[in-house]
Amino acid sequence: MLSGKKILVGVTGGVAAYKAAEIISRLRKLNAEVHVAMTKSATEFIAPLTLRTLSANPVYVDMFDEPKLWNVEHIALAEHVDLVIVAPATANMLAKMAIGLADDFLSTVLLATRAPIFVAPAMNHAMYLHPATQDNLARLVDRGIQIIGPSTGFQACGTEGIGRMSEAVEIVESLTRFLSGGGSLKGKKALVTAGGTQEPLDPVRYLGNRSSGRMGYAIAQALQEAGAETVLVSAPTDFKTPPGVTRISVQTALEMYDAVLERFSEIDVVVKAAAVADYRPAVQAEQKIKKNGTNRMIELVPNPDILAELGRRKTSQVLIGFAAETENLLANAQDKMHRKNVNLLVANDVTKPGAGFGSPTNIVSFLFPDGRRIDFPQMSKLEVARNLVREIASLLDVETKE
């Protein structure tokens, strides 16, 4: 499947370095030409000889080794490969990539290459959730670097949590999907809504909510990775548009309603991840409302229910809704699922640590009209999105057969 493709596997100094051996082996079985670059720390966890044997190519470690290629070695390798995967990618390497530091062979290749770069983070859960690591990952995503994982599970330090490197089979599947230009949703059109709408009170103030838009942007990225032609209808956020995704910017619920309904008939799947304001001010003041020390009454009128309207109009489309609850999660979510006529509803309790607005992680359950339920542990929002895409592919397959 990967015949003729040249892939560089970068291995950094973490316990998960042993998984690099399986990644290389699987890529070789798919007929890829595999090259390996290791940090010196990585050689403390797995021997270069092992990876040289599996890849059938020299392993690069030291910038000042005798050149194995005819040109300046790190530049020649950077220009030679079709794709780079760093697995495991430690917090240290992610930080170096984020600021463009090139102080060893691997980080220099990463700075020099123009090939697509994937990283598979692997670290203790506290390190992964640290704001510095999350900021670094966000910067890398903004530059088009694709993140695989991490997953949740038992860690070498003896704790349980997010930060465990994805398994080799999942990593290789992601790379194969990318290089083959395919994916489970190739040829499908998807629309995602994201962010919290803002309902103006006056030219300065608005009514809003705490949604950051992170979940919706992760879903748009996962859909695009799976080959879907993806449109993102976004309320104001601080996130950059995922590579390959078409973004339509809106502010209010009415603007989002119009943008979604205008495109609905052409779409195969809609994921309503936005936090849409239920109400808006009946009147928007033309000038800034001045404080005068007295109570002020603001009349609110209901906004249209976008998800319910899509549920009424849908024919063959797959419709996904979200329920962010603070109490009676399952009861409220199941009621919403049936009232809105969705194919799948993603439910989460936003009061739980690691599942609230703005968090890099989420804890969700997938609910289906037939009574099925899938509960997930805490994981990154991108990992939630990829699990959701797998279910979407199954639902679309069922719709096609029917």
Candidates 127, 157, 308, 395; catalytic one: 157
**Helical (H) or strand (E) element with 262:** helix 253-263
Peptide bond before residue 150 is cis, with ω within 30 degrees of 0: yes
Calculate helix-pair angle for 131-142, 91-99, nearest 10 degrees: 50
What residues contact residue 298 under an 8 Å CB cut-off, 6+ apart?
Answer: 201, 281
The CA R_g of the chain, rounded to the nearest whole Å, is 23
Nearest to 219 by CA among 252, 241, 204: 241
Query: Is residue 157 flagged as an active site residue?
Result: yes
Q: With 0-12 CB in 10 A as exposed, 13-18 as middle and 19+ as buried, what is 227?
A: buried
Q: Which two tokens stand for residue 317?
A: 């489309």
d(CA 311, CA 336): 11
CB 183 within 8 A of CB 226: yes
For residues 386 and 389, give the distance between their C-alpha atoms in angstroms, rounded to a whole number: 5
- Beta carbons of 195 and 240 less than 8 angstroms apart: no
Write out 98-140 in H/E/C secondary structure.
HHCCCCCHHHHHHHHCCCCEEEEECCCHHHHHCHHHHHHHHHH
Q: How far apart are CA 24 and CA 168, in angstroms?
A: 9
Question: 200 near 283, Cβ under 8 Å?
Answer: no
CA distances from 217 to 116, 118, 139 (A): 20, 18, 14
**Quick check: 192 and 318 in contact, CB under 8 A?**
no
Phi-psi region of 358 (alpha: psi -120 to 50; beta: other; left: phi over 0): left
C-alpha span between 308 and 313 (Å, rounded): 9
Nearest to 245 by CA among 263, 265, 264, 221: 221
For residue 6, what are its two tokens? 């040249």
Active site residues: 157
